[in-house]
Amino acid sequence: MRIDVLSLFPDFIDQATSVGVVGRARERGLLQVQAWNPRDYATDNYRRVDDRPFGGGPGMVMLPEPLGACLAAARAADPAPARVILLSPQGPRLTQAKVRELAAQPRLILLCGRYEGLDERFIEREVDEELSIGDYVLSGGELAAAVLVDAVGRLQEGALNDAASAEQDSFEDGLLDCPHYTRSEAWGTEGVPAVLLSGDHAAIARWRRRQSLGRTWLRRPDLLARTRLSPADRTLLAE
Ligand code: ADE
């Protein structure tokens, strides 16, 4: 899949998506990320990308012209149709279900706002959807775009060495993940739940599911309220 990111800080986007699983996915050619700087498409001597808002008030608004020219160049770089997403606190919150949906697209173009945001007419004309990564305000969309590229990139086929690990992630089934333990010379097995050392795979699976359910109930009851529980889950919760 291909993701183009329009940002006044293209180096940040490139670096933030060059490490770990997503960096490896890029190296393997499973994910192509290209950052574009709208300032390169500004036509005046000062390479301006913002101006004062109509109606007055604090802050600046990103100019539609450099953004529009930059977006046209990004679109033209590949014939595949692209979904254009604006990262902004005004959008609905990003969820794992949305990440899955976007990960199946051939192409995304992400727009990172700075200052007070983009000219609303540009959003209406060019943007397919807005997404927020949480109910707080960042100084720009770059961190949010990096979050989206990471979440989508790790789901590309072949990105994770063990594909099953994505299916067991928190939120994939609407629940939080269970706790994990590993071998430690210094710590031995003290404090490790005995069932995990038992070799009884059915009992281990039941224990993990019960932990997931219990943690979600304690920490994120809002998630549990939205999850359809199976009769087996109900029995586990009641145990
Ligand atoms: N830009 C500024 N704040 C943001 C947020 N919370 N989510 C996405 N983009 C943003």
ipTM of the complex: 0.98
CA 37 to each of CA 44, 171, 183: distance values in angstroms, whole numbers, following the listed order: 15, 34, 47
Q: How much distance in Å is there from the Cα of 92 to the middle of ligand 1?
A: 11
Superfamily name and number for 168-238: tRNA(m1g37)methyltransferase, domain 2 (1.10.1270.20)
Instruction: Please give the pLDDT value at position 169.
Output: 75
Instruction: Please give the pLDDT value at position 161.
Output: 81
In this prediction, residue 228 has a pLDDT band, given cuts at 50, 70 and 90, of confident
Ligand 1, atom nearest to 135 Cα: 6
Please say if the pLDDT value at position 82 is more than 90.
yes
Instruction: Please give the pLDDT value at position 115.
Output: 78
Please say if the pLDDT value at position 118 is more than 90.
yes
Token pair recorded at residue 135: 């109910």
Q: What residues are in contact with ligand 1 under a 6 Å CB criterion?
A: 87-89, 132-134, 136-138, 141, 144
- Looking from the CA of 85 toward its CB, the CA atoms found within 13 Å total 28
Indicate which residues carry an active-site annotation.
Answer: 89, 116, 154, 169
Instruction: Please give the pLDDT value at position 44.
Output: 92
Ligand 1, atom nearest to 88 Cα: 9
* pLDDT single digits (tens) 13-29: 999 999 999 999 999 99
Direct distance between the N- and C-terminal alpha carbons of the chain, in angstroms, rounded to an integer: 45
Lowest mean pLDDT among 8-12, 74-78, 94-98, 160-164: 160-164
Instruction: Please give the pLDDT value at position 215.
Output: 96
Give span(s): CATH 1.10.1270.20, the chain. Answer: 168-238
The CATH class that applies to domain 2-153 reads alpha beta
Give span(s): CATH 3.40.1280.10, the chain. Answer: 2-153
Q: With helix as H, strand as E and coil as C, how does 45-66 read?
A: CCCCCEECCCCCCCCCEECHHH
Q: How much distance in Å is there from the Cα of 91 to the middle of ligand 1?
A: 8
Instruction: Please give the pLDDT value at position 203.
Output: 97
Mean pLDDT across 229-239 = 88
Please say if the pLDDT value at position 170 is more than 80.
no
Token pair recorded at residue 36: 């574009």
Instruction: Please give the pLDDT value at position 116.
Output: 86
Global confidence as pTM: 0.91
Nearest residue CA, atom 9 of ligand 1? 88
Q: What angle do CA 180, 209, 149 make, to 5 degrees?
A: 65
In this prediction, residue 226 has a pLDDT band, given cuts at 50, 70 and 90, of confident
Quick check: 137 and 74 in contact, CB under 8 A?
Answer: no
In this prediction, residue 114 has a pLDDT band, given cuts at 50, 70 and 90, of confident
Mean pLDDT across 97-126 = 95
Instruction: Please give the pLDDT value at position 45.
Output: 93
Residues forming the annotated binding site for S-adenosyl-L-methionine? 113, 133-138
Please say if the pLDDT value at position 73 is more than 80.
yes
Q: How much distance in Å is there from the Cα of 201 to the middle of ligand 1?
A: 43
